[in-house]
Structures are given as C-alpha cells and as structure tokens.
Structure 1
Amino acid sequence: MEKQTLVKEICPTTTQSWIAEGAVLVDVREKNEVMKLRFIAHEIIYIPLSEFEERYAELPKDRKLVMVCDSGARSLRAAGFLVNHGYGNVVNMEHGLKRWVERGFAIGGDPAAVTGNSGDCCSTSGCC
C-alpha cells in the first residue's frame, strides 16, 4: 500500500448516525474473520485488505464510506489509500468491531471472537 494520508476517524456511536444518513460500511477484514463475527448494518461492502488494491474501484465515490475492521488499524490503512485515490467522503471507525461490540451495537456471530482482552482500550476518557 502507498503512503497514508491523514484520515478523519469517528467512533461507533457516530458511525450509527452516519449509517442512518445513508453511509456504507466497508469491512476490510478477511473472509474467515467475517464468518466468525460480522457487523449488522443496512449496507455493508466486504473487500478484504488483502484484495483491496485490486478491488477498491468497486466502492462508490458518491457515498459516505465508513471503513471498518477489528481494531481500526487495517481500515485506517484502507481509508488512507482511498483518500489518496480520489475518494473524498471517507472516514475510519476507530477501535473497530471491538468497540462496536462493547457499545452493544448489532452483530452476527460470537462476540467472544473480539472481546477477549479489550479492557485497555476503553480506559481513556472521552470514548464514545
């Protein structure tokens, strides 16, 4: 992947607002991860990070895109890649599926796949 551009990050709570306004979640986790635990949202596009450079053009440029993964790291890389390739309305969901599960948002599958040791990520004040 190319050098990353700064990307705006939003929390899962704000992501819910974006979804309500028509944003698309773009899940960059690998297929085996999605099989274990998946986001439940109105519109989701799955493009694993391992295929992202070849498939990113499948994403609409005229929609808000919220990039997601387990922790927010891989999706941040993908979001930066999109910004560098002309996508203007892209954000990354910080803390990923782990925080989504902690906040009690809809999921499909076993949340134990991500809740093992996530206690240290929420100790900071200001988490949403």
Structure 2
Amino acid sequence: MFFDRLPAVEAAEVPSDGFLLDVREPEEWAAGHAEQAVHVPMGEVVARIDELPRDRRVHVVCRSGGRSAQVAQYLIAQGYDAVNVDGGMHAWQAANRPMVAADGSPEAFVL
C-alpha cells in the first residue's frame, strides 16, 4: 500500500514557520486549528492547488491523518514536496502545539 511509504512527520516535528495545510471541513476548522495553518478543505484542493507553494514543504493535516494522507499523496504526484502530519490534529493537540478557534480565541479543540 502506498500510504505505508508516504512521507510523514510527527506533529511535534512540524516547524513553527512551516507551511501547514489543513484539509478538514469548515466546521472542524472553526472549532480549532493551528494558528499558522492555511485552510483548503480536501474537496477543494484540486481547484485551489495554485494557492500552495511549490518552493517549500507542505505539511498536510486533517483530524486523524487519513484525509491528509490522501491529499499528501495527490500533491506528491503533482510534484510537490508534501508530507502527512501523522495522527492529524488529535496528535497536534496532544503535543500541546498552539491552536486557535475561528474567532482567534485560544479556546480551541479538535472536532
């Protein structure tokens, strides 16, 4: 299976200045997301691919890692340097990485 060979990083290893692509649905994003993340729901990635940088690594995250693995696989096939964030936002929250809610408040959680 390709996902077994898919490049992945732990949430704690994502650089604070790294490009983080959150592919969750809008209600998941609104509940809590990484402050520096860029939100492009999975279903919009193909149409919005030009918004993603080709000159730096794209760290792809979702709730638990499944959707982001699919998006990372797609981006790699398109020539991007992409990696899956293992464990998704659940792992991000467990690693005590900073999160905010849609209104910018620090009271964020993973849906």
TM score, norm. by length of structure 1:
0.73
- Following superposition, the deviation at residue 58 of structure 1 comes to 1.5
TM score, norm. by length of structure 2:
0.83
Q: Cα RMSD (Å) of the superposition?
A: 1.7
- Following superposition, the deviation at residue 90 of structure 1 comes to 1.1
- The runs of 5 or more residues in structure 1 that have no matched partner are 115-128
* 4+ runs deviating over 3 angstroms: none
Cα distance between partner residues in 1 of 2:21 and 2:83: 10
Note the alpha carbon deviations across 1:24-54, whole angstroms, 9 max, x for none: 000101111111111123xx22110011111
Task: Give the share of equivalent positions with the same residue, in percent.
Answer: 27
The alignment partner of 1:61 has SS state of coil
Partner of 2:44: 51
- The runs of 5 or more residues in structure 2 that have no matched partner are 102-107
Q: Do residues 25 (structure 1) and 20 (structure 2) align?
A: yes
Partner of 2:7: 8
Structure 1 contact 7–90 (Cα < 8 Å) conserved: no
Max Rg structure: 1
- Following superposition, the deviation at residue 7 of structure 1 comes to 2.1
Partner of 2:34: 39
Give, as a single letter, the amino acid of the residue that structure 1 aligns with 2:100.
G
Cα distance between partner residues in 2 of 1:79 and 1:35: 22
